Structure 1
Amino acid sequence: MKEQLFNAIRQENFSELEKLLTNNPELVSTKDLRGSTPLLLATYYGLYEISEVILKFPQNIDEQDASGNTALMGVCFKGFDHIAKLLLENGANPNITNFNGATALIFAATFGRKGIAGLLMEKSANTSLKDDKGLTAADHAKMQGLREMVELLENKKH
């Protein structure tokens, strides 16, 4: 059943996904070989509508994969602003760290996702958190030469 669930997500099969989760709500917390939950997989692939279906079922929205990344971190890396907003509206925590100490804001800053960084900061993302290398989101933006991102992060420290 687990494989059916992940295939339904990849194939964007709404009816199969909803049927599987309705009949087996515990599947919402199952993980694939990479440690991804259904929500992590759907958000990573940018599947907004599928993510909405999955979010109808009770779960830990901040569940981490095998690298310690959350769904919110993945969309910050990928640049899916609309899904970042959906996750934040559903209670995703922007200050969780992965196994390297990175936060969603550090990912947004590193990859130049200014819109997402603004959303994260509106939801109290901590701009002073440092990763395992001792670098903040602003430090990562500086290293990438992202001047506007640096200004955003340094003008709204929390």
Structure 2
Amino acid sequence: MFKCIVKEDVPMVKLLVQGGFDVNIVDDRGWSPLLHAVDMDNYEMVKAILISDKCDVNIKDTANLRPLHMAAMHANSKIASQLVRRGAKVDVVQIRGWTPLILTCRANCVQTTRLLLLNGANPNHTGLNGHTPLSTALNLALVKKFQKCC
């Protein structure tokens, strides 16, 4: 299945999923087909994998990175919305203590930030670096202002 995902062969992935392929299998990095599809920012591939009712939308890799973290990093609100609808936990923490909300604030994605907040994400969670979603967003805004000045 991983080769089909890399080749972006959505019809073949659909066939594999419908045929009962284990969509929670992981590679040597602990990445599932869903994590790969989200990392490739491929909405149609994500939908094809989510056809399986056995798909674990909260599956994590060796760094506790989950599909919703990846969607947040890529500022992909469409994929994030699909994951949340399928039961993705909005306050999961990866190895650096970052939640999807912190990552979407770093990516400056208003749509995904709103989606996560409306679905109960904690805006006061503090990552291991001491930053919260709010401080992350403010730092990004300040950097942009300084760049305009200089």
Tell me whether the two structures share a fold, i.e. TM-score over 0.5. yes
Q: How many residues align?
A: 142
Match of 2:70 in 1: 74
* Alignment of structure 1 residues 83-98 onto 2, 5 Å: 83-98=79-94
Match of 1:46 in 2: 41
Question: Which runs of at least 4 in structure 1 moved beyond 6 Å after TM superposition?
Answer: none
State how far apart, in whole Å, the 2-side matches of 1:29 and 1:138 are.
34
Distance 1:90 1:69, change over 3 A: same
State how far apart, in whole Å, the 1-side matches of 2:64 and 2:31 are.
10
Instruction: Tell me how far 1:146 sits from its aligned partner.
Output: 6.0
Q: Which has the higher helix share?
A: 1
Q: CA contact under 8 A between 2:72 and 2:103: conserved in structure 1?
A: yes
RMSD: 1.6
State yes or no: 1:107 paired with 2:103. yes
- Identical aligned pairs, as a percentage? 25
Unaligned runs of 5+ in 2: 144-150
State how far apart, in whole Å, the 2-side matches of 1:146 and 1:9 are.
38
Unaligned runs of 5+ in 1: 148-158
Match of 1:121 in 2: 117
Superimposed CA distance per residue, residues 80-119 of structure 1 (whole angstroms, 9 cap, x where no aligned partner): 1111111111111110000111000000111211111001
State how far apart, in whole Å, the 2-side matches of 1:35 and 1:105 are.
23
* Alignment of structure 1 residues 19-30 onto 2, 5 Å: 19-25=15-21, 27-30=22-25
Distance 1:21 1:146, change over 3 A: farther
State how far apart, in whole Å, the 1-side matches of 2:142 and 2:61 are.
28
TM-score (norm 2): 0.87
Match of 1:139 in 2: 135
Of the three residues 18, 21, 25, the one matched with 2:14 is 18
TM-score (norm 1): 0.83
